[in-house]
Amino acid sequence: MEDYIKSIMKEARVFYPPKSFSNKAHIKNIKEYERLYKQSIKNPEKFWAEQAKQLEWFKKWDTVLRNEKNFFKWFEGGKLNVCYNCLDKNIKSGKKEKIALIWEPESGKGKTYTYGQLLKEVCKFANALKKKGVKKGKVVQIYLAMIPELLISMLACARLGAIHSVVFSGFSADSLKDRILDSKSEFLITSDGSFRNGKVCPIKDNADAAIKACPSIKSIIVVKRTNNKIKMKKNRDYWFHELIENEKDFCKAEHMDSEDPLFILYTSGSTGKPKGVLHTQAGYLLYAQQTFKYIFDIRDDDIYFCTADIGWITGHSYIVYGPLANSATTIMYEGAPMYPKPDRFWNIVDKYKVTIFYTAPTAIRALAKEGDKWPNKSNLSSLRLLGTVGEPINPEAWLWYYKVIGKEKCPIVDTWWQTETGGILITPLPGAIPLKPGSATKPFFGIVADIFKENGSKAKVNEGGYLVIKKPWPGMLRTVWNNPKKYKKTYFEKFNVYLTGDSAKIDEDGYFWIMGRLDDVIKVSGHRMGTAEIESSLVSHKSVAEAAVVPFPHKIKGQAIYAFVILKKGNQKSESLKEELKKHVGKTVGPIAKPDKIQFADDLPKTRSGKIMRRMLKAIAEGSSEFGNVSTLADPEVIKKLQEERIL
Ligand code: WTA
């Protein structure tokens, strides 16, 4: 990481927003940002109460914020409906015929929904769900790829006050099972299959396998997408299209309390079991709406394309809720970035005249590697703003994005945030804040971010430390589902303010530089994975006795997975076993979790009390011999052997 920071600091150039951009922007210059920012943090409650007027409430709140020992409640006493705010409210203000959603399937024959049409589809499905027993407070698991029914299902749940829990369709049957077991949902929405890279992924088969161990599931609703053969179990499995066939296209929006749950999204932390991050109604919606408005500087005629999958938080906040709450036009693309060729994203930009494009550094690096000829084949002149999210962006990738995609006229918003934060916390405002490649720049309105040292004191300028958020904000997670203790321990125990898990520093201009995770979370191609999840998958293989997983730097993926594996007695170390183990992880967790490198070991570096010393393994995987303090190492010989046998 130090090298990374050194390298970004070399990129000392500052990029100013073009005048033509700033003139029309919501926030036009740094002074305006600073003035509003100061106001917002002087009295965040006043600030957010003022902003909350932009939502439509069935009943106004009584209190803006209440702190119950670090469990925060926003807008208590207020009543509203998230789906109503995303659809009905826009229709009432004259946007009925405006396109809400553009869906681009892998096959290319796109489909659009106006706000009016989308409301009808959502209502029909909400009515169908109601008949199956879905209502306020029930959890609905959604295991779908990027098809319109995913967004429709989420909004239908929100309309009824049911809690949706989307599971990324690339996750395996086991991962789905774990999430259903934790959320205890009775309903599952999936499809007969999904398209990825022109191939059919059998996600209904995965769902069938998963729910064998999930007695809570009563009904499965299946969207017909690929027409491949699947099993439909009587009185449990229902076709989506049959259920909605005769449903009315109006359904009343439930009046929800501000702090009723909206959704659970599972995310990896430092323990084996993913955490169910809980977001609630009003605060989440307000934060998604406000951040989307100012950070993407949204205007009525924008066409906005975020390439994320809705199975992750970026898709929740910035494909679905943020854009729709701003009556924007949002694009949802079904497939892989390189399908059928590496110009697919640029084709989409050209085809729909996209004005705002939001993606991850890993995609930028992968597409840059394919060469400029791909973007150069498309007309990208409609673009006015670019964004990145998910991992640090290296200056080379930033500059490529800026020059080749943005033609040096589009600001880039490098947005830092997390599943837990609900929305973007540290980011440029594109018309106002000058950019430094590799820096997420400044905190958003109402966000008080800082860097703490181990002892809780403030770090000096340019000194690395723990990134913390010192005041609550409306979009923050409310708890970990079924596990409030974990919420307290993970986020508030160390400093009594919100701990992000990232390290960062602030430079002399007040710019934030994110340095990476401090815990055992790995970002593989921007996807958040826990080392412990991958380790427990490896150990579940019959030939493995012990495993330790660490990240190593990867040119395109940002980080990749390096696994140290100790075999059980009687097993031969072989290349074929390595392949088998990779497949096993792919099957039990999901293809994105497959280790890139596996090194068989006889022993791992441990402390005298038996704890694996991960930072040493990390150094070995990176090929570095800077081990830091080794005085607690039980057997120094172990390191030497591991270094010799390192996989290059
Ligand atoms: C990392 C994704 C550097 C960070 C929205 C964070 C970033 C984790 C950035 C959360 C960025 C996200 N620059 N690092 N712009 N954005 N990260 O929950 O380590 O999937 O803690 O949310 O991604 O990942 P998550």
Cα 128 to ligand 1 centre (Å) = 37
Residue nearest atom 8 of ligand 1, based on CA coordinates: 418
Q: How far apart are CA 390 and CA 414, in angstroms?
A: 9
**What DSSP element (H or E) covers 93?**
none
Q: How large is the average pLDDT for residues 266-271?
A: 86
Whole-number Å distance between alpha carbons of 357 and 106: 18
- The answer to whether position 432 is within a domain reads no
CATH at 585: 3.30.300.30
Q: 396: burial class by Cβ within 10 Å (0-12, 13-18, 19+)? A: middle
In a domain, 217, yes or no: no
Q: What is the mean pLDDT of residues 527-556?
A: 93
pLDDT at 645 over 60: yes
Lowest mean pLDDT among 397-406, 495-504, 627-636: 627-636
CB 409 within 8 A of CB 377: no
Number of folded domains that form the chain: 1
**CA atoms of 318 and 331, how far apart (whole Å):** 10
Q: Residue holding tokens 């293989």? A: 541
For residue 10, count other CB atoms closer than 10 A to its CB. 10
b/e string for 575-593 if b means 16 or more Cβ within 10 A? Answer: eebbeebbebbbebbbebb
AA identity, residue 68: E
Q: Measured between alpha carbons, how far is residue 616 from residues 161, 309, 611, 633, 643 in Å? A: 48, 34, 12, 10, 10
Distance CA 265, CA 275 (A): 8
Place of tokens 């106006």: 114
The model's pLDDT over 165-186, given as tens digits with 9 standing for 90+, comes to 999 999 999 999 999 999 999 9
Residue 192 clears pLDDT 50, i.e. is over it:
yes
Mutation choice for ligand 1 from 318, 391, 476, 480, CB with most ligand atoms inside 8 A: 391
pLDDT, mean over the chain: 95
Task: Please give the distance, rounded to the nearest whole angstrom, from the Cα atom of residue 518 to the centre of ligand 1.
Answer: 12
β-pairing verdict for 187-191 and 479-480 = unpaired
Q: Which atom of ligand 1 is nearest to the CA of 312?
A: 20
Question: Which helix (H) or strand (E) is 612 found in, with range?
Answer: none
End-to-end CA distance of the chain: 19
Neighbours of 70 (CB within 10 A): 14
Concatenated DSSP letters of 313-359 = HHHIIIIIIHHHHTT-EEEEE-S-TTSSSTTHHHHHHHHHT-SEEEE
pLDDT tens figures, 517-541: 998 899 999 999 999 899 999 999 9
Q: In the predicted model, is pLDDT for residue 46 greater than 60? A: yes
The reply to whether 590 falls in a domain is: yes
625 in a structural domain: yes
Q: Which residue range forms the structural domain that includes residue 593?
A: 541-644
Distance 269 CA to ligand 1 centre (A): 13
Mean pLDDT of 470-480: 98
Six-digit token string for 246:
């005769």
Cα distances (angstroms) measured from residue 337 to each of 262, 307, 401, 543: 30, 8, 15, 36
Give percent of the chain above pLDDT 90. 91
pLDDT surpassing 60 at residue 7:
no
Looking at the domain assignment, is residue 589 inside a domain? yes
Is residue 600 domain-resident?
Answer: yes
- Ligand 1: atom nearest CA of 521 is 19
Residue 252 gets the label, from left (phi > 0), alpha (psi -120 to 50) or beta, of beta
The pocket around ligand 1, CB under 6 angstroms, is made up of: 267, 312-314, 389-392, 414-419, 440, 500-502, 514, 517, 523, 528
Measured in Å, residue 526 CA sits from the centre of ligand 1 at 8
Q: Is residue 548 part of a domain?
A: yes
Question: Does 592 reside within a domain?
Answer: yes
Helix H segments across 212-354? 240-244, 282-295, 313-315, 322-325, 344-352
Separation in Å, CA 296 to CA 87, 162, 384:
20, 29, 10
Joined together, the tokens standing for residue 28 give 């036009």
Burial 401-427, CB ≥16 within 10 A → b, else e: bbebbbeeebbbbbbbbbbbbbbbbbb
